[in-house]
Structure 1
Amino acid sequence: MAGHKILVIDDSKVIRVRVQEMLPQGNFTVIEAKDGQEGLKFIVKERPNLIMLDFLLPKVTGWQVFQKIQSDSKLKKIPLVLMSGRKEEVTDKIPEPFDKHYFAFLEKPFEKKELTAAIKSAFDLAKKRPTDQQVDVAPPGSSSKDIQALQAQVKKMEAEIAALKKQMTQLVTIVKQKLK
């Protein structure tokens, strides 16, 4: 990963320095942003290979930065590690499992092993993210077996409805004959 740019967006200088110290020396250029506003500028200007984003930020929140990234087809291809010491703040806005949203989550405080795993996960998830050309017709979490089962149920229900219509027509005919 030599020459990779990692953008760390966190209002805590301690966290920004900690990330830099935990990464292997010489393999990364770490760009630091102290708030979401500065982070957005660096995302556009530097085009980092990885974004580490604190969820609770001044000026522009991590949630707002996340939304901006997700709304831009080029930016959402960048691997993302979302960080927070208060996971419930994140789950209030973004439901788990987080990997369905194509980002890794790192709970603060963290150790080197957790940081490395989150970065690896973010890169793996970014590779799995469908491109804009790939239209996701099925709801998240559904498989082709689920879809086939639903299609079979629909066909069965359509047949039952057709049979009920036929029976109803026969009943109406009988009632009309009785009323004459």
Structure 2
Amino acid sequence: MKVKEMLSPGNNFEVLEAKDGVEGLNLILKEKLSLIMLDFILPKLSGWEVFQKIQSHPELRKIPLVIMSGRKEEVTEKIPEPFEYFDFLGKPFDKKQLMDAIRSATIKAKQPRPDAVSPTVPTAAKNGVATTPATNDLDAAAEIKLLNEKIAKMQAEIESLKKQLTQVVTFIKQKIK
């Protein structure tokens, strides 16, 4: 409803709605869409399952995709960052964030993709750890680069949290005096 309100007819969008993942997937398969806005948490068929179906069809993968969720960690559990071929929109969001996500998704959808690469889907679980096959050294190198980027991002977040904690402790000490 919120997306439909933000994308009013004045913005040249016609919005088709689906009440659950099954209905949404049927719309995606039947209609000629120019954009897919996919909530990650859906009844009947989850956003993750719909995403997997989209990724299994080369033609559907060309459609700009915005995945929405109030819990980004649920998305990143299944789809590692950086999100190269779609955009992520955290809830709640405003109209500017929505329009920025649509623009970004449109740009990302035009990026060339290796056709042989399937979406990142865990293929085996050993001792509770999901793994994906690395078919060659380039895949392993890309995975290492991705992990290093995640580590750098986490370290920056940790430093930010340390600064905030220091500020809170200082504030509390001042109030106690």
When normalised by structure 1's length, the TM-score is 0.63
Give ranges in structure 1 of 5+ residues lacking alignment. 1-16, 147-180
**Partner of residue 50, structure 1:** 35
**1:121 lines up with 2:112 in the alignment:** no
Residues 140 and 49 (structure 1), Cα distance of their counterparts in 2 relative to 1, 3 Å cut: farther
- The percentage of counterpart residues that share the same residue type is 61
**1:19 lines up with 2:37 in the alignment:** no
Matches within 5 A, 1:1-180: 17-26=1-10, 27-99=12-84, 102-130=85-113, 132=115, 138-139=138-139
When normalised by structure 2's length, the TM-score is 0.64
Once the two structures are TM-superposed, the CA of residue 112 in structure 1 deviates from its matched residue by: 0.6
Distance 1:122 1:116 in 2: 10
Distance 2:83 2:140 in 1: 12
- Residues matched between the structures, number: 124
Question: RMSD value over aligned CA atoms?
Answer: 2.3
SS of 2:43's partner is: coil
2:95 maps to amino acid: K
CA contact (8 A) 2:7 2:15 kept: no
* Larger-Rg structure: 1
CA contact (8 A) 2:37 2:68 kept: yes
Distance 2:35 2:140 in 1: 25
